Each structure stands twice: as structure tokens, then as C-alpha cells.
Amino acid sequence: MSETALAEKLELIVGERFVLRRESDLLVYNSDGLPGYRRMPRLAVFPGSREEAVQVVRTLATYGIPYVPRGAGTGLSGGALADDVVLLGLHRLKRIISIDPENLRAVVEPGVVNLSLNRAVAPIGLLYAPDPSSEAACTIGGNVAENAGGPHCLKYGVTLNHVISITAILPDGEIVTLGNAAGETPGYDLRGAFIGSEGCFGVALDVTVRLTRKPAAIRTMLADFTSVDEAAHVTSAIIASGIVPAALEFMDGPTIRVVESSVYAAGYPADAAAVLLIEVDGNAEGVDADRDTVREICIAGGARTVKVAQNDAERTRLWQGRKKAFGAMGRMAPHLVVQDAVIPRTKLAGILARISDIAAANRVVVCNVFHAGDGNLHPNIPYNADNPDEAERVHRSMGEIMRACVDAGGSITGEHGVGLDKIGYIELIFSPDSLAAMCRLREVFDPLRRSNPGKVVPVHSCQEWRATPAGRAT
């Protein structure tokens, strides 16, 4: 089908304004939250209602046209990039359909911004727990696609643990309900399979999420250290103590300094080698006891000071530095690679030392800012992609860090997804048979692999299932 004919068909559904075809219009959609990749969509279409979204998907199905679903485009794995295929933007589907405080749930359209949902339920004492750092912009649909996490997932769990059911449109246009909003789901956990499928299984039309009661009391602390190693060991000690902090975040010296020199300055001590941002929540009596225990562990582990936020304003300020750290890194260089590996928590100190060695050997600056309590690392490297020598050193460092994390028993991604960025690493952790099984699962939802083509699992893995398994009896 010609470009023009397709565009005209889509314009009939969504209106002329919401189909973009000119390169100058599409330019803004040629990257996502990870600035290192650029892919130009063939065209972009933005349905304004559920009905329009259904019609768009069905039209694309009729003509066998591949597409990439996209929420706010804040993803950090290149997962929402459309390489000469249709980009299907869902951010206009932003209705909060219902809030049900009695049953602690809400039904939202995929384009609802994470923070908007939280603002809507806050007045009734509730919250939606997953809180990615991009919460002010990212959408629930995107969160479902990526199985998004966030600092408070240490205690409260990731998107998977907070989504009850999903109505989705499959790539062939069929509308299905995954999970049961009103009781158990006997049978296969199709909801669980869909969450984190990175847009490869279809498009969510509405999502029923679980809401959580706000904790009665919160204590937020900032502990600062003169050594990265001490901060890493204190992290392990807090986890081992049996306290489950609501969040336990780590920022190293380079991160602290870039945050403090930006508009997001949070009052972190600029000469520290590392800080831990630690939050405990629960009832007032209990959190005060936990706060005291955490403070003792920090001091015993070498913390110079442990500052406790005295009010909401102080707490917000401490968090702002953490949540905006990626943005602050924009001050250092035009591009940023963002890593998302996960390691067993006891390996933290060793891995941080290894990362430091890798950075030194490749002459790059690593800014570590991550969810230490989960062992979910984010070693980020600001750089200039237009300098080929520097770009080469950065990518070599990233590969070496990834391998070190995998060798430590870890995973290549904890919350950002595989997307395009980590597809080259997935064979480090999964066998050909495992990847082929994943392909088979995808093909049940999308036999022609038209939804977000070329992401998550390498195409060659999908061929291997058809071959005879190694050693198979005949």
C-alpha cells in the first residue's frame, strides 16, 4: 500500500491532524528516552479514543502493516523506536475510566500519565505504587509494556504486581481480556505474559490497576559516605537486617556533583563519594524504630552523617535530586548511555569496584545512580556520540559492564526492557531454546510479528525452534 493511501485511510479514522507524514513532523519521534538511537518512522498516527485505536489497529491488520506502539516515549531501551514502520502513539487515550476505593483499584486508558493517576487517587489516601523516575511523563500503557519499576518497588513490587487485568487489542484486531478484574483467574496467566512484553503482544486499551493505601508514616534519610565500598556494604547490611525499606537508592560522587550543580540540587554533600537515600514507611511507632536501626547501621558502616527529612518539603527535595539525576546528566554531554543490569545484592561492592576499573581503563566517566536495595544498577555514561573514538570507548565499557554483571549471576535489564538497546546481550543470559520458546509465545499473540518488530528477541532465535532440539530422540 502506498504511503499516501495508508495515510488517507488513517486520517479518515483519526483526522488529518493526527497523522504525521512529513519528515520535519516525524523528527521528534525518531528517538525515545535514550538519545543514542535514531530511527525514523514511516508515519505516525495518534488515535484520540479507544474506538479510533481499535480501528487503527484493525486497518493496519487488514493491510499487514507493522507498527510500534508508543506511550510518552520516555523508555530507556529504544523500545519505542519505529524503524521505517508505523508509529502508533497512544498518549491521547488518557481517560481515567474509574476509581474504586472500596476495591482498591482503578481502570485507566493506556495514555494516562503515571503521576496523573497518583494525583487523582492521592486525595482519597491511595497511591499507585510503581514510580519510575519518569513518572511525571510516562504512561501506564508504557509501564505495562516495560513492566516498569521505580525506587519504591523494593518494598511494593513492580508493575506486574499491581496490574489486575488488561483489555488488549491483539495485532490481528481481536480484543481480549487478560486476567480477571473480579476474582481469581483460573487458567494461564495471560495478564502476566502480556506485562513486560514491550509492545510485541498487542496494545492495551484499558488497564485495571491495584491501588495501595498510603502508609501512615514515612521517614526519609540521606546517609553520606567517603567511600563507595562502605555505602555498598551498608546497603547489604540494611537488607540483611530484615528491614524492608520502601526505597534504598544509591548515588555516587559524579552523580551527586552533577545533580548539585543543576537546577535539581537537593542538598547532597558535594564532597561525598556516595550517598544512600533510604526511606522506611509504615505506622509511626514502627518507622521510628526502623529509622533508628537504619541510622545505626549506616553510622556503624562508616557514614559521615545521616540526615533525616523533617517535613514533606525536605523529603521532596531529597527525592528530586534522585528522580531528576538522569536529566541533570544532560549538563555533562549531549548523549547518555543508560544501563539497567541487575546483580545479586551480595555482589554489589565487587561490581562497583569492577565498574570503576572498566571506566578507568576506557577513559570514560560513569555516573552510578541506582536501586541498590534491589541490586538494580544504572551505571550511566554521558558522552558525545559525534566523537567516534569516545563513542567506541563508551560502548566497549558498556559491554564489559554488562558481561561482568551477567558473570556475577545477574540479568541484563531490571526495569527498562530489552528493546533495541540490549537485544545484543540477551543471548548472554538465555539459551537458544529459551529464546525460541519466547518467540513461540510471541507468535501466539502476533503470528506475523508485526507489533514492535525486531525488538526483545533476535529474529534468528525465532527460526531455531523449528529446527530439531539438540539431542532429541527420534
Partner 1 sequence: MSGVASDSRGARDMTAVATDLNPVQELVLEAAASGTPIRIAGRCHWIDAGRPVNATRVASLAVHAGIVDYVPGDLTITVRSGTTLREIENLTRAEGQWLPLDPPGSSDGTIGATIATGSFGPLAHAFGRARDLVLGVEFVTGDGRAVRGGGRVVKNVAGFDLVRLVTGSWGTLGVITEVTLRLHSVPLQPATLSLAVPGGRNALMQRLTSILAAPATPLAVEIVDASLARSIGLPERQQILILLGGNPASVAAQRDVFSRLGGAESVDNEAWSRLRTVEDTSPPIVLRISALPARLAEIWDGAHASLAGGGGAMLHSMPSLGVIRCILPSGTTHQTVERLLSATPDATVVFERLPSAMWAAFSPSVVDDRLSRGIKLAFDPSNILNPGILGPTS
Query: Within 271-330, which residues bind partner 1 (CB under 8 A)?
Result: 282-290, 293
Q: Site residues for partner 1, window 362-381 (CB under 8 A)?
A: 371, 374-376
Alpha-carbon span 275 to 177, nearest angstrom: 44
Please, which residue, 266 or 341, has the CB nearer to partner 1?
A: 341
Binding status of residue 144 toward partner 1 by CB under 8 A: no
Backbone angles phi, psi at 390, to 5 degrees: -65, -45
Please, which residue, 130 or 321, has the CB nearer to partner 1?
A: 130
DSSP 458: -
Please, which residue, 57 or 287, has the CB nearer to partner 1?
A: 287
Binding status of residue 444 toward partner 1 by CB under 8 A: yes
Q: Which stretch binds partner 1 (CB under 8 A): 7-15, 220-228, 246-254, 436-444?
A: 436-444
The answer to whether residues 52 and 110 touch, using CB atoms and an 8 Å cutoff, is no
Q: Residue 98 class from Cβ within 10 Å (0-12 exposed, 13-18 middle, 19+ buried)?
A: exposed
Which three three-digit cell numbers place residue 183? 476474582
> Could you tell me the CA-to-CA distances from 439 to 379, 383, 463 in Å, in that order?
30, 35, 9
Binding status of residue 195 toward partner 1 by CB under 8 A: yes
Q: Site residues for partner 1, window 145-174 (CB under 8 A)?
A: 146-147, 149, 153, 157-158, 160-161, 174
Q: Pick one of 119, 363, 440, 460: the residue that binds partner 1 (CB under 8 A).
A: 440
Please, which residue, 227 or 293, has the CB nearer to partner 1?
A: 293
Q: Site residues for partner 1, window 53-92 (CB under 8 A)?
A: none
Binding status of residue 472 toward partner 1 by CB under 8 A: yes
β-sheet bridge partners, residue 277:
222, 249
Please, which residue, 103 or 261, has the CB nearer to partner 1?
A: 103
Binding status of residue 123 toward partner 1 by CB under 8 A: no
Q: Which stretch binds partner 1 (CB under 8 A): 22-30, 48-56, 184-192, 351-359?
A: 184-192
Binding status of residue 463 toward partner 1 by CB under 8 A: no
Q: What DSSP line would sit under 87-115, residue for residue?
A: EEE-TT---EEEEETTTTEEEE-TT-BHH
Q: Which stretch binds partner 1 (CB under 8 A): 8-16, 317-325, 395-403, 407-415?
A: 407-415
Alpha-carbon span 126 to 401, nearest angstrom: 39
The label of the residue with cell 530507556 reads: 76
Rg (CA), the chain: 23
Binding status of residue 230 toward partner 1 by CB under 8 A: no
From the list 470, 398, 378, 452, the residue with the least C-alpha distance to 85 is 452
